[in-house]
Amino acid sequence: MDYYPLAYKVAGGLFSVQALFFILISVLAGTLSSMPAYLMVSMAVMSFSMAYLHPQFKQKDERMQLIRYKGLFYSFFAMLIYMFALLTLLEAGVNLTASMVIQMLIALNICTVFLSWVILSKKM
């Protein structure tokens, strides 16, 4: 029996609980921007995506290599769009620090890569 999907689901659940905790604490503190929550949500997305993709990824066939390639290709263009949007926000005078922008880009990149792999694996 393959226990990796179960381990990924447990890790995703733990990351989800941590993200909810960070969001709850930030709401109780009176601020709505909790940067660690973004990273925890992206890690939860990654874990749940890997739970779904693990049975397919352990097969080293051409289909999975094509899904990885196309997913990273689409993620590159999505990252360009994210950077353009954040640059526009910065130029508009929105109060964002460099640390916040980098954490947002990391979270968006993780989510985009893994969700594109899930979407492509369902289409192919």
Question: What's residue 1's pLDDT?
Answer: 67
- Longest C-alpha distance within the chain, in Å? 54
Question: What's residue 74's pLDDT?
Answer: 95
Question: What's residue 73's pLDDT?
Answer: 95
Render pLDDT for 69-104 as a digit per residue (tens, 0 to 9): 999 999 999 999 999 999 999 999 888 888 889 999
Question: What's residue 56's pLDDT?
Answer: 84
Mean pLDDT by 10 residues, the chain (124 residues): 87 96 89 83 96 86 90 95 94 88 93 95 86
Question: What's residue 30's pLDDT?
Answer: 82
Question: What's residue 36's pLDDT?
Answer: 86
SS (H, E, C) 41-95: HHHHHHHHHHHHHHHHHCCCCHHHHHHHHHHHHHHHHHHHHHHHHHHHHHHCCCC
Tokens (6 digits) for 11? 């890790």
Q: Give pTM, 2 decimals.
A: 0.88
Query: Going by C-beta distance under 8 Å and a sequence separation of 6 or more, which residues neighbour residue 23?
Result: 34, 37
CA–CA dist 82, 70 (Å, integer): 18
Average pLDDT, the chain: 91
Question: What's residue 58's pLDDT?
Answer: 82
